[in-house]
């Protein structure tokens, strides 16, 4: 790897060639909704974010010094690693020879690898070979955390189960991301969509009779986040016990946790929750409304104070003076009368006019946006909401792009990029050298197909 460029605030960032060369542009790997041409956008802040101190960096990152070894694929496991990597942990992703197959997914899976594998180093090893397995074990014995999300029993067969590894590294936190926690289902194979279907989330998302998975890998990602929570708790406990432990998070139980509010509704009311498209809303004004220019805006009025502000701002004197509408439950009871009036009112505004007025009042509202439109969102581009990265696989290999940053601020600063998305085996030589392997030994391992790298 090249030397870290020194920026104005003295922080080193390993990544982007675009920053090292002082590039003024980031090439977004999305196509314009209007002309279908590749969007080339001015780089508003990638370098300036570091110089202005918007991103944390180096030793200031909260998990700096923590060593993580990752045996993962798809989304759930990699989410654990990317969160910890964003926060400063040294995450080493052990990939099979030829690289993680997630790199080669098409369609809706094409974004998995680039989204969940930045801030990691990649090493490719043949874990069935003596030397490849030996190198992996040496990494694990120096690690604080191991993350894996393969089918039950797969890691044990390779000799990388918790019981075996904890004997040589008793301080190891072993995070296993699975389909199910302990119980009758624990050996089943599961996917995000399987968990959504059997856990009730798909039933709640689609209209009656049409179960529908959520529009993102919400269970994979949330399950990964629960894994991180467990790891951090285990690390804290290790400070007093000196011992590591097994941490397991799962898809099914994550789904159940998310639908827990609907289970609680049944428990306290005796009425089962209807699917969200057919639900009885807790508020009278809480819908997507049409505008004069044939667009749509979501608007919510969720408190009695907001109702007063809403009526005053839109000149709804009669509604505002009606005592039966002063309290939320009264408005919910009158929803069938109120909604047509509000729909008619909002049809007199364009989308831009309505949103401007709602923002002035301070009411909850939202345009109905599409994911690719977020590349141009002014809020995200203003202060580190998107981080600059490089496409490493596929037809657009080498192109520059921006992807969502970790949605957390600490001390008023965001988490940025210390390592760009790794190429397969990009850091094999570097990592093996850190373990004490000579260049000749590394060459021999690569020649014998025990390791793979650049």
Domains detected in the chain: 17-178+386-452 (3.40.50.10540), 281-372 (3.30.1540.10)
Confidence (pLDDT) at 36: 29
Dihedral (CA of 137, 141, 142, 144) sign: positive
Confidence (pLDDT) at 49: 52
Confidence (pLDDT) at 15: 29
| pLDDT tens sequence across 421-432 | 999 999 999 999
Q: DSSP letters of 267-332?
A: HHHS-PPPPGGG---SSSEEEEEE-TTS-EEEEEE-SHHHHHHHHHHTT-HHHHH-GGGSSHHHHH
Confidence (pLDDT) at 279: 84
User: What CA–CA distances, in Å, run from 23 to 19, 48, 55, 97, 136?
Assistant: 6, 12, 19, 34, 38
Confidence (pLDDT) at 43: 40
Residues of the chain with pLDDT under 70: 1-53, 59
**Cβ neighbours around 37 below 10 Å, total:** 8
CA atoms of 222 and 177, how far apart (whole Å): 11
Residue 220 is a catalytic residue:
yes
Nearest to 377 by CA among 409, 403, 350, 345: 403
* Pair 293, 246: CB distance under 8 Å: no
> For every residue of 39-89, which 3-state class applies, written as one string?
EEEECCCHHHHHHCCCEECHHHCCCCCCEEEEECCCCHHHHHHHHHHHCCC
CA atoms of 310 and 441, how far apart (whole Å): 72
Confidence (pLDDT) at 45: 41
User: What CA–CA distances, in Å, run from 345 to 291, 292, 317, 362?
Assistant: 9, 10, 13, 18
Catalytic residue among 90, 220, 393, 420: 220
Q: Cα–Cα–Cα angle for 3, 454, 65, nearest 5°?
A: 50
């Amino acid at each position: 790897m090249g030397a870290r460029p020194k920026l104005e605030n003295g922080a080193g960032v390993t990544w982007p060639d675009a920053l090292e060369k002082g590039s003024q542009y980031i090439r977004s790997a999305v196509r314009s909704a209007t002309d279908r041409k590749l969007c080339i956008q001015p780089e508003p802040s990638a370098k300036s974010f570091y110089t202005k101190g918007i991103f944390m960096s180096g030793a200031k990152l909260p998990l700096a010094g923590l060593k993580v070894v990752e045996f993962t694929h798809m989304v759930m496991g990699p989410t654990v690693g990317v969160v910890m990597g964003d926060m400063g942990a040294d995450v080493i992703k052990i990939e099979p020879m030829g690289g993680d197959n997630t790199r080669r997914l098409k369609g809706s899976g094409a974004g998995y690898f680039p989204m969940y594998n930045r801030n990691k180093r990649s090493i490719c090893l043949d874990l069935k070979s003596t030397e490849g397995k030996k190198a992996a074990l040496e990494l694990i014995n120096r690690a604080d955390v191991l993350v894996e999300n393969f089918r039950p029993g797969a890691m044990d067969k390779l000799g990388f189960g918790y019981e075996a590894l904890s004997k040589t590294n008793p301080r190891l936190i072993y995070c296993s991301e699975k389909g199910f926690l302990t119980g009758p289902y624990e050996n089943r194979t599961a996917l995000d969509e399987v968990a959504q279907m059997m856990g009730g989330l798909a039933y709640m998302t689609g209209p009656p009779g049409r179960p529908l998975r959520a529009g993102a890998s919400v269970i994979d990602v949330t399950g990964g986040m629960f894994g991180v929570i467990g790891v951090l708790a285990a690390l804290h406990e290790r400070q007093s016990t000196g011992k590591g432990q097994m941490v397991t998070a799962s898809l099914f139980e994550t789904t159940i946790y998310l639908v827990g509010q609907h289970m609680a509704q049944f428990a306290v009311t005796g009425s089962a929750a209807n699917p969200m498209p057919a639900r009885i809303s807790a508020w009278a004004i809480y819908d997507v409304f049409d505008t004069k220019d044939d667009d749509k805006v979501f608007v919510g009025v969720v408190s009695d104070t907001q109702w007063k502000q809403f009526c005053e701002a839109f000149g709804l004197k009669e509604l505002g003076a009606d005592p039966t509408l002063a309290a939320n439950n009264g408005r919910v009871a009158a929803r069938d009368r109120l909604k047509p009036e509000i729909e008619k009112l909002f049809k007199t505004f364009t989308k831009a006019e309505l949103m401007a007025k709602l923002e002035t009042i301070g009411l909850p509202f939202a345009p109905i946006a599409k994911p690719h439109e977020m590349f141009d969102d002014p809020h995200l581009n203003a202060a580190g909401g998107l981080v600059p990265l490089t496409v490493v696989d596929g037809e657009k290999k080498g192109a520059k792009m921006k992807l969502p940053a970790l949605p957390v601020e600490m001390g008023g600063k965001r988490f940025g990029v210390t390592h760009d998305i790794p190429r397969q085996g990009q850091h094999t030589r570097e990592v093996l050298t850190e373990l004490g392997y000579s260049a000749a030994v590394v060459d021999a391992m690569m020649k014998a197909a025990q390791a793979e790298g650049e």
